[in-house]
Structure 1
């Protein structure tokens, strides 16, 4: 389906609108995942790799694994808290 131009009359049907919303949600999820990976890579690399080389030693590997785990845990906690807050606020707005 081509979303670059609206259908005649400028209105989307219910199915088209739902499909467009799903497409936007999917694109946002991909963008969020890419941002997470980029930030996590940048921060953990800076923290764990003081002298870049052709291989990682054991301490660098362990540091990266722990850093990435902590970063993911923090990201998930913030996401859950944010979603809970949004749902609560939507409940008050109804």
Structure 2
């Protein structure tokens, strides 16, 4: 039972579309939260004293920090995907 049994076909389609839009918005929120996390951690790690512009060392540190976070996130995501796929076969 999916909770849509008493709905017309058009109402079911609307409900399905609404669920899809909600899922998209949740993904956007997760992405924004991840960006916020990168910003906090990398800022604390790389920026000694804020100025009017970033010096080369600070910019390089920030880029490297974010790239490490992205690589780590992708590695963990891929590992979980592999675990789930092995568990379903």
Q: Which runs of at least 4 in structure 1 moved beyond 3 Å after TM superposition?
A: 9-12, 83-89
1:78 aligns with 2:38: no
Q: What does residue 44 of structure 2 align with? A: 46
Q: What does residue 55 of structure 2 align with? A: 57
CA distance in 1, matches of 2:66, 2:14: 39
Alignment TM-score, normalising by the size of structure 2: 0.75
SS of 2:48's partner is coil
Q: Post-superposition shift, 1:73? A: 0.9
Q: Post-superposition shift, 1:33? A: 0.7
- Please give the root-mean-square deviation of Cα atoms over the aligned residues, in Å: 2.4
CA distance in 1, matches of 2:39, 2:19: 30
Give the gaps of 5 or more residues in structure 2: 1-5
Matched residue count: 83
Matches within 5 A, 1:2-81: 13=12, 15-81=13-79
